[in-house]
Chains A and B, each alone.
Chain A
């Protein structure tokens, strides 16, 4: 029997190692797996590379909490502004940062999940983002070679899940979650609701369970 449900956040996060590359879903505060992020802070893995659109807000939760605890070696993101902790650590030279245009970030993650090692994109040609990257012309237009972003772990927020790991999302909370779920060796999901197998209409499953390893229920208000 296939059952990806786990009973606790701690169990969901067991085995995340020091030095792991961790994909974190969300755009702004929407679609962020907050309980899994808090759990990762408790779990204690260090020297992490965090891949997320934003570097978070405030200090108390999520990515800023991990950064504040000194657990993050590097962050890969498109828009870090908003986190005081990020500013402090970056200015002090204590955090490595890779800034990536948002569409390129999304496509690098998708490529990793789809078995594509690299791809050409027009985004960033002629800008500082293109420095040091291979440029190739297709049909008279220049493109940058960008590489897939492989990851060890993906932390996902979903709306509904079943025991096979099939997922649905809500509103713009979908954002990076479906592509991150595909791109990691270990995909861990916090879902608002876990329903019986067969309750999710196959026509509306966004992430099929093949991409998911663990599901923990975290009911939202």
Chain B
């Protein structure tokens, strides 16, 4: 079986540590916040100058001057701070953000990340803050579907799309597996229930090693 987007988000959320400063990329990573256990105090950072970002406002209570990196209305948590853009990126590049959860188009066996464009013309949709997050966050977790819509692998020996950053991804979460990027290559820690390793390897464009203590992904969502 494969995980739904919600199951994948819930699996990632289980690993987000209490007291962490976390930046969530656009798309799948944004979903993770919905599943972080309520007893954990996680402080969300938004590149446009918010530390302590809260959930979406109720309808009719939007503050027109308060948006996240996806340009959606958000709220502030008690204890939040507003900073200007250079300080927001000093938090990122200076290594103060504990964890960046980033969507990915491709990840290589050495942790190279490609997540900003599929276009050879270099410009669209734009690079945004992804390159800064990828090099600056203390830990980078990549979240993605294991394969493209036409079944091609997204985990490869070398990325074929333009890189966002080289050797930055620490862990990959897909709808099939949880995989660590280590000095000794890609190590599979968990697999979707019922999936066998040969099938996972067949759907992956880089050599995998199955950890001795691997287990099935626990599904709570």
Contacts and interface: CB of A to CB of B under 8 A. Distances in A.
Contacts of A178: 84
A58 interface: no
A174 B83 contact: yes
Contacts, number: 133
Contacts of A99: 122-123, 126-127
Nearest to B47: A102
Nearest to B112: A126
B127 A79 contact: yes
A31 to B, nearest CB: 7
Contacts of A80: 123-126
Interface residues of B, number: 39
Contacts of A27: 48-49, 67, 71, 85
Interface string B59-89: 0000111110001000000000011111011
B128 interface: yes
A111 to B, nearest CB: 9
Contact of B86 (A28, A87, A109, A206): A109
Contact of B126 (A78, A107, A126, A174): A78
A123 B93 contact: yes
Interface string B141-184: 00000000000000000000011111000000000000000000
Interface string A100-111: 111110110110
Interface in B81-133: 82-86, 88-89, 92-93, 112, 122-132
B127 A101 contact: yes
A172 B48 contact: yes
Interface residues of A, number: 46
Contacts of B67: 27-28, 30, 172
Chain B contact residues: helix, strand, loop or mixed: loop
Contacts of B131: 101, 103-104, 123-124, 127, 129
A209 B20 CA distance: 37
A102 B89 contact: yes
A61 to B, nearest CB: 15
A56 B92 CA distance: 25
B163 A172 contact: no
A106 B123 contact: no
Contacts of A127: 131, 162-166
A121 B67 CA distance: 27
Nearest to A121: B93
A174 B49 contact: yes
Of listed B85, B162, B165, residue having the most chain A CB within 10 A:
B85
Nearest to A176: B85
Contacts of B88: 106
A94 interface: no
Interface in A105-142: 106-107, 109-110, 121-129
Contact of B162 (A128, A171, A206): A128
Of listed B48, B122, B129, residue having the most chain A CB within 10 A:
B48
A43 interface: no
Contacts of B3: none
Given A81-B125, A102-B89, A171 B83 contact: no
B29 interface: no
Nearest to A141: B135
A108 to B, nearest CB: 10
B64 A30 contact: yes
A7 to B, nearest CB: 26
Nearest to A127: B163
Of listed B66, B89, B126, residue having the most chain A CB within 10 A:
B126
A101 B48 contact: no
A77 interface: yes
26 contacts: A28-B48, A30-B48, A30-B64, A30-B67, A30-B71, A78-B127, A79-B127, A80-B126, A81-B125, A99-B123, A101-B128, A102-B85, A102-B89, A102-B132, A104-B132, A122-B93, A123-B135, A123-B165, A127-B164, A128-B122, A129-B127, A170-B65, A172-B67, A174-B83, A179-B84, A179-B85
Interface of B: 46-50, 63-67, 71, 82-86, 88-89, 92-93, 112, 122-132, 135-136, 162-166
